[in-house]
Structure 1
């Protein structure tokens, strides 16, 4: 007997058991024929996650290989990530996540009727990633302290994280960061049949007091002080594709989901799902957490100088607006796609201003009946004065693209816009900044007196040696260089530059042609670029379809400029295109 089962498009996702009952001659026999799984189906036009583009389905549902974009907006870096949604056991783990998070929106999970709605499923998964009180999948280290767990940036894929959570009695895995949280959520959503992707937003504001403004405070030397607000250099979240029946949508569209717990005014919480189009239009009453998502791509930046008498002076500076660069992996390509236009209209355009005024009235109830002119006057009082207003333009430009162990070379360009001489005293400094905007050690300071003739352009070379920044960089590969004028000169001018220090590469070379279930060898090589020993070197290898579990190789200590080569053997166990990832960790990073 051949039995076909056709679940309706509104069936609840999950594991089902198929039983057969036979009645013959007054006797009834029962037999279990097996179990099967029902998932969301983006190939079915009646399903709320239906996606009509085959190339998009292959990228956002079937592709197990992703790319995370990090760094800063002027220097975007990338690293591969294994989603691994089709690895053995991952589907059962994803369903366990739904079981553990079932009480998030419902008093009980007896009827499980919510499991046919991708909106509620996405909210449960979003909450379970890092916001559940006891059984969240992953934790973020407090105060950048991860000595009691795994370094957040050492993960290469979602599978080991999900397996560790499941095998560890559903206790949180230590530790992750926004990129790994968003990627694990993308794995779970794709595994359940919901098209999903990871998005990176550069210059991401985290403000407690003013939802549409972020403040950074500096001292007279240019040192970034730790305040209530943080300007994240980048932040990752997830987008999932679905038709929102609760918003009367008849077809699918992207919804943003941020699994990273952030301050929302009601404590730390994840955000979403929020219709991306509602963010662009400033229609914040439509959706979950719309005002939080809007503020994250539309906040103003203000820099302040803290002086000895506790007074603060607003800088003359050219600040990069928040949320001006949002990217994700392109369909069928290793390049990134700029999707900023999906979240906001072109800066300064009529539609951009209309959306901002609309959102401002909803975020600030006191302005619900205010005119556009009234709101614009309020905004003008909050914004930074421009450097050009002071008669001086400044830029910090990179002269090289430094790798770990190399000196940082910059050109400091100053232009006098007036027909008169200008003499200014500047303080320069450099300090480490975490990706989440936390200022760390200040390791370099200098003072320079600059005289500019009428309309003169001057270029001053700056050099920060590895011996100066190396002892402080650690896992944080971003530094901030600041030049700020002495307040005693009158006006306060500031220019800054975030600099990414690139990690040395690991080279992978296949020594034989990969074949299914046939042993294959690869050579992994790495050269220590430093003029000092690299201690506790460990190489981690993994790859969906290649390694059942990550392989670690202890390389010990690598002397200065020493090259390490090792040959590894693995047996591919699945057909298709696969990626072998190699990651090196040591006492330096």
Structure 2
């Protein structure tokens, strides 16, 4: 039996036990449990004088300790048989119940064993051994296990235990050893008892000694404790889509342990957030054949699984992963980022999803995205020269890409490089032979320090690569001469959810945080250019692009009109402007093309094109427009309904070639989520989901996904067809089980229109 087989058997047993304990016991069951406990107590009281002292049970005070450790939101704490969830660096209280009144300090030696993994070791930090000497104060450092006696009263021994601030995170268990202090005592009086209670120990951003310490309380509430958030999607200006992280769901912590076991990360390394976050970025995808959480697919055919746009949150994904024991179909970047957020927050690692608009996928560490044209200015499609490329894209610019920031100290880097670090679970490029990425320090990316771990060059290119245009020229080195560089297209804006605030509108601005300046200096500044040039000097592949000057004579400026958003069903047009700044006439040729595109930047289907040639007099400007009616573009749309307009321009007299593009998302209606009653615990709450169909045709095979951590379990609801230009209105009833502020999230998909979303904040009062 292999290591992974043993780990899986152990984890499957653990998960089965947890799932078997789901549900709430009835009043009659609770009364029977109390009666059984009374009978057992009476029995032990009657027999207390006979034989040596024995440990009968350990009360881990799961709910009380969870409150003290800010872990009371975890559902496993509130099961009939509570699971213990604690944070390292903190203290927790236990009651040890004995079979007789015993002065442990004088008569017995008590040892506590805390074990982690299959082969726990004190030397490796995966085992803690505490010998109780009766002391009432802690006297060991914060990096060691320690315990003090709070009370030894009757048959109950109350202890307070200190968890090391560097303890590995994951599933622990405890054993007790009780033996007489008298060396002449019968050896049979020694008792070793293993407890069957699972103890989850997590990172502790509240503790100053923890490598994940975050000093800002509001930040901790957002990046560790918030079970819902927003992930921005689409072209500029992006829309914010609500996502249910659900890190407190009962299936998530077992799923996190399973994920780490399958990662192969050494148990002794699981106390280091650097290695844990890197393992998470590897295991949220399944590209390495390691039974990771999600299978990525960009094919457009998801008939044997779930379309990435259909997920409303992470809970259903984690449930399927744990229960079936195999990767889930399917994910794309925002799904990978959503699940990564769930796993990190569940383990106590502060985390947030980050969206990069116009995200470069640099395949050869050149810090450039290279576009090639022939002598006539026609685009040349080049094959990628090297490296692994699971999507077959080569150098490309994704319209948007989502990854994660995690917060930690970086003792492996120079001072000042801690704080936010980028990790990416979307399988794009290999790192150390695996599809993993990060943690890359924001500060290292911002300064262009390519030599610092981990994967700084890849992240730097994602946010700040130049788009370099080359023209075929047999007299030039490598057969191409550099025409010009677009220095401000990539990394147009980086977005994440603002702390504390969350708006219901997809295009709301109040809950949007622009974090671009954390990744790079402002575009066009001297600092930004110096950063990129310093990085280029450290990469052999980057030097040629940054060394060669432009050879073209540029006296005609071209620009393409940006389109922010168009509501689906509307017509639109795109315009290119040519402005002559020279002194002699120029003949200009322009070709405009419109096509649908995948969000990765890969072309999908052509829609329409137009061309023209005209003469520009000195100081003259002219425009060329391409109308695109709804009837032409609708049937050509693919996922995310993105359209890319590309302009190929050429000046006849100088052979100067210019290419510009504009990518935008066709806007879809938002789902209105409306509570029809006041929400109260235990009282049925009627909800209505609605939107207007903007299409002149019926929507069929409609599916509504509903999710709301703490309010409603994830549900998939097939609903009726939606009439052409008609209203979708669907009733839904739920019964809140606890009071508080919650967010209910809905997504809608049909054959004709996919990826509609909406949400509403709901306040549930006590009954």
Whether the aligned pair in 2 keeps the contact of 1:222 and 1:428 (CA below 8 Å) is no
Measured against aligned partners, the alpha-carbon deviations of 1:146-176 in whole angstroms (never above 9, x if no partner) come to: 332211122111111111111111x111111
Whether the aligned pair in 2 keeps the contact of 1:49 and 1:252 (CA below 8 Å) is no
2:164 matches 1:5: no
Measured against aligned partners, the alpha-carbon deviations of 1:193-221 in whole angstroms (never above 9, x if no partner) come to: 11111111222222334531112357989
C-alpha distance in structure 1 between counterparts of 2:380 and 2:244, whole Å: 36
User: SS where residue 51 of structure 1 aligns?
Assistant: coil
Matches within 5 A, 1:116-265: 116-130=271-285, 131-141=287-297, 143-169=299-325, 171-216=326-371, 228-247=394-413, 252-264=418-430
User: SS where residue 578 of structure 1 aligns?
Assistant: strand
**TM-score, scaled relative to structure 2:** 0.68
Measured against aligned partners, the alpha-carbon deviations of 1:56-95 in whole angstroms (never above 9, x if no partner) come to: 11111111111111222x3222211111111222112111
Unaligned segments of structure 1, at least 5 residues: 107-111, 368-374
Equivalent of 2:546 in 379, 404, 407: 379
User: SS where residue 4 of structure 1 aligns?
Assistant: strand
C-alpha distance in structure 2 between counterparts of 1:361 and 1:314, whole Å: 18
Task: Provide the alpha-carbon RMSD of the alignment.
Answer: 3.1
Displacement of 1:494: 3.1
Measured against aligned partners, the alpha-carbon deviations of 1:562-581 in whole angstroms (never above 9, x if no partner) come to: 21211100122343321111
2:602 matches 1:447: no
C-alpha distance in structure 2 between counterparts of 1:474 and 1:224, whole Å: 25
Match of 1:50 in 2: 213
Whether the aligned pair in 2 keeps the contact of 1:129 and 1:136 (CA below 8 Å) is yes
- CA 1:318–1:194: 2 relative to 1, 3 Å: closer
- CA 1:509–1:223: 2 relative to 1, 3 Å: farther
- CA 1:484–1:284: 2 relative to 1, 3 Å: closer
- CA 1:129–1:378: 2 relative to 1, 3 Å: closer
Measured against aligned partners, the alpha-carbon deviations of 1:263-284 in whole angstroms (never above 9, x if no partner) come to: 3587662211122211222222
Greater shift, 496-505 or 218-227, is seen at 218-227
User: SS where residue 246 of structure 1 aligns?
Assistant: coil
Match of 2:749 in 1: 585
Match of 1:79 in 2: 241
Equivalent of 1:100 in 253, 262, 266: 262
Displacement of 1:520: 0.7
User: SS where residue 78 of structure 1 aligns?
Assistant: strand
User: SS where residue 269 of structure 1 aligns?
Assistant: coil
Match of 2:493 in 1: 325
User: SS where residue 218 of structure 2 aligns?
Assistant: helix
Equivalent of 2:204 in 41, 44, 49: 41
Equivalent of 2:466 in 300, 304, 314: 300
User: SS where residue 276 of structure 2 aligns?
Assistant: helix
2:701 matches 1:536: yes
Match of 1:554 in 2: 719
Whether the aligned pair in 2 keeps the contact of 1:318 and 1:495 (CA below 8 Å) is no
2:438 matches 1:272: yes
Measured against aligned partners, the alpha-carbon deviations of 1:466-493 in whole angstroms (never above 9, x if no partner) come to: 1111111031421111222367564323
- CA 1:213–1:167: 2 relative to 1, 3 Å: same
2:661 matches 1:493: no
Equivalent of 2:231 in 60, 68, 76: 68
C-alpha distance in structure 2 between counterparts of 1:430 and 1:286, whole Å: 41
Greater shift, 512-521 or 411-420, is seen at 411-420
Greater shift, 525-534 or 430-439, is seen at 525-534
Match of 2:77 in 1: none
Whether the aligned pair in 2 keeps the contact of 1:301 and 1:383 (CA below 8 Å) is no
Whether the aligned pair in 1 keeps the contact of 2:431 and 2:437 (CA below 8 Å) is no
Whether the aligned pair in 1 keeps the contact of 2:470 and 2:483 (CA below 8 Å) is yes
**TM-score, scaled relative to structure 1:** 0.87
Greater shift, 121-130 or 412-421, is seen at 412-421
User: SS where residue 549 of structure 1 aligns?
Assistant: strand
2:555 matches 1:390: yes
Whether the aligned pair in 1 keeps the contact of 2:590 and 2:650 (CA below 8 Å) is yes
- CA 1:126–1:20: 2 relative to 1, 3 Å: same
Displacement of 1:321: 3.2
C-alpha distance in structure 2 between counterparts of 1:206 and 1:347, whole Å: 19
Greater shift, 10-19 or 427-436, is seen at 10-19
Whether the aligned pair in 1 keeps the contact of 2:583 and 2:619 (CA below 8 Å) is yes
Greater shift, 420-429 or 498-507, is seen at 420-429
User: SS where residue 644 of structure 2 aligns?
Assistant: strand
Q: How many pairs are equivalent? A: 564
User: SS where residue 561 of structure 1 aligns?
Assistant: coil
- CA 1:119–1:328: 2 relative to 1, 3 Å: same
C-alpha distance in structure 1 between counterparts of 2:603 and 2:548, whole Å: 27
Largest Rg, 1 or 2:
2
User: SS where residue 162 of structure 1 aligns?
Assistant: helix
Whether the aligned pair in 2 keeps the contact of 1:221 and 1:484 (CA below 8 Å) is yes
Whether the aligned pair in 2 keeps the contact of 1:201 and 1:235 (CA below 8 Å) is yes
Match of 1:109 in 2: none
- CA 1:564–1:114: 2 relative to 1, 3 Å: same
Match of 1:370 in 2: none
Displacement of 1:304: 5.3
User: SS where residue 270 of structure 1 aligns?
Assistant: coil
C-alpha distance in structure 1 between counterparts of 2:470 and 2:301, whole Å: 28
Match of 1:429 in 2: 593
Greater shift, 226-235 or 189-198, is seen at 226-235
C-alpha distance in structure 1 between counterparts of 2:556 and 2:496, whole Å: 39
